[in-house]
């Protein structure tokens, strides 16, 4: 498919069927879907980690959600959705086998080719695990493309850690160097680290090769400030620090201006930005 054909498909909404649903935490649910038309599934399965899709619920509205699956496994798409308002409430009423419309993929996503042959430090907090899971699974499936991959993930409590089983399995399989932490462990049975996510840098700092490393983060805005501090201490260049940002979006295609800030359209130029971009456009965070 050439780029023009792909763009035409991106602008249209296509019917998708729910294949699986699972609660990831008390307020976040996993959705596994596939486009009803296998042709569309094949074509739109060529997304990049870090891109997002827009869901349409008739009579309720539209909202963007990060793609959490990896393009290396093209027969379905996965999402993690937190219930916060009318669209997400309507999505929570759907059952396996129900259909709704999806358009996309949108946004710039991560430049996976640039990251090839580098070490990666992937840092996520809370809901930030949803978009970064796409990158993690991609790195697992294309392990030979990357050198050391360090994954640092934090959540408030073990119950709040999204994709907890997947990440524990990653820790056990040792394909990626995985470090998991929680701020608090109310039940007292958490087998990994306790403390904020930035404390996990102690476990990798002496092995980080700042000449050959990309760092990628996604999480609550407060986390960014402290993670950036740790990365700058390790002398990771600003243009090699990536973060994925959420801003209010409507069209996802650069038409409505909802997401524009200082001439930057976060739906087109983002949601992935470098720390270099953020420094020049402070309102982005
Ligand atoms: C690029 C992108 C990717 C996203 N990926 C995901 C994802 O993977 N999983 C997920 O659960 N959500 C994600 N979101 C957020 C999701 O789009 C919103 O939560 C959505 O608006 C919910 O719609 P709603 O009608 O249920 O709630 P609304 O009625 O729109 O909002 C309910 C509450 O959430 C707040 N809110 C809504 N959107 C945002 C936002 N972008 N940032 C901060 N607060 C917000 C509102 O102010 C309000 O308080 C993403 C947003 C963007 C822009
Ligand atoms: S969401 Fe419409 S211009 Fe970005």
Q: What is the pLDDT of residue 96?
A: 98
Same domain assignment for residues 207 and 166? yes
Same domain assignment for residues 50 and 34? yes
Measured from the alpha carbon of residue 81, the closest ligand is 1
Which of 106, 132, 164 corresponds to the end of one domain?
106
Same domain assignment for residues 121 and 240? yes
Same domain assignment for residues 233 and 119? yes
Greater model confidence, 2 or 51: 51
Domain of residue 177: give its range: 112-244
Phi (first) and psi of residue 208, to 5 degrees: -75, 130
Residue 280 lies in a domain: no
Residue 49 lies in a domain: yes
Where do runs of H (alpha helix) occur along the chain? 3-11, 38-44, 86-92, 112-115, 129-141, 164-173, 221-233, 275-280
Residue 273 lies in a domain: no
Model pLDDT for residues 186-238, shown as the tens digit of each residue: 999 999 999 999 999 999 999 999 899 999 999 998 899 999 999 999 999 99
| Chain center to CA of 282 | 22
Q: Is 62 in the pocket of ligand 2 (CB under 6 A)?
A: no
pLDDT band at 4 (very low <50, low <70, confident <90, very high): low
- CATH number of the domain that residue 43 is part of: 2.40.30.10
Query: Does 11 score more than 80 pLDDT?
Result: no
Cα–Cα dist 167/180, whole Å: 8
Q: Is 265 in the pocket of ligand 2 (CB under 6 A)?
A: yes
Mean pLDDT value across the chain: 91
Among the ranges given (62-71, 140-149, 172-181, 247-256), the one the predictor scored with the smallest mean pLDDT: 247-256
- In the chain, the number of structural domains is 2
Model pLDDT for residues 12-70, shown as the tens digit of each residue: 899 999 999 999 999 999 999 999 999 888 877 789 999 999 999 999 999 999 999 99
Query: Does 3 score more than 70 pLDDT?
Result: no
Q: Is 258 in the pocket of ligand 2 (CB under 6 A)?
A: yes
Residue 257 lies in a domain: no
């Amino acid at each position: 498919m050439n780029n023009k054909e792909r763009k035409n498909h991106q602008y249209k909404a296509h019917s998708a069927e729910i294949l699986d649903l699972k609660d990831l935490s008390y307020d976040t649910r996993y959705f596994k879907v596939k486009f009803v038309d296998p042709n569309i599934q094949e074509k739109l399965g060529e997304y990049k980690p870090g891109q997002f899709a827009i869901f349409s619920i008739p009579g309720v509205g539209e909202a963007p959600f990060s793609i959490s699956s990896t393009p290396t496994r093209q027969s379905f798409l996965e999402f993690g959705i937190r219930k916060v308002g009318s669209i997400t409430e309507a999505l929570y009423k759907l059952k396996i086998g129900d259909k709704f419309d999806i358009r996309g993929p949108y946004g710039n996503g991560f430049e996976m080719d640039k990251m090839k042959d580098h070490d990666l430090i992937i840092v996520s907090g809370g809901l930030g695990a949803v978009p970064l899971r796409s990158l993690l699974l991609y790195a697992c499936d294309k392990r030979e493309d990357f050198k050391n991959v360090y994954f640092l993930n934090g959540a408030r409590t073990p119950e709040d850690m999204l994709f907890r089983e997947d990440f524990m399995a990653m820790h056990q399989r040792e394909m990626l160097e995985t470090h998991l932490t929680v701020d608090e462990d109310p039940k007292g049975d958490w087998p990994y680290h306790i403390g904020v996510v930035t404390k996990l840098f102690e476990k990798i700092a002496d092995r980080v090769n700042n000449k050959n490393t990309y760092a990628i983060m996604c999480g609550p805005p407060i986390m960014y400030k402290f993670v950036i501090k740790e990365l700058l201490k390790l002398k990771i260049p600003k243009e090699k620090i990536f973060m994925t940002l959420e801003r209010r979006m409507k069209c996802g295609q650069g038409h409505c201006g909802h997401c524009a800030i200082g001439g930057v359209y976060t739906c087109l130029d983002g949601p992935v930005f470098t720390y270099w971009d953020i420094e020049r456009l402070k309102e982005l965070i």
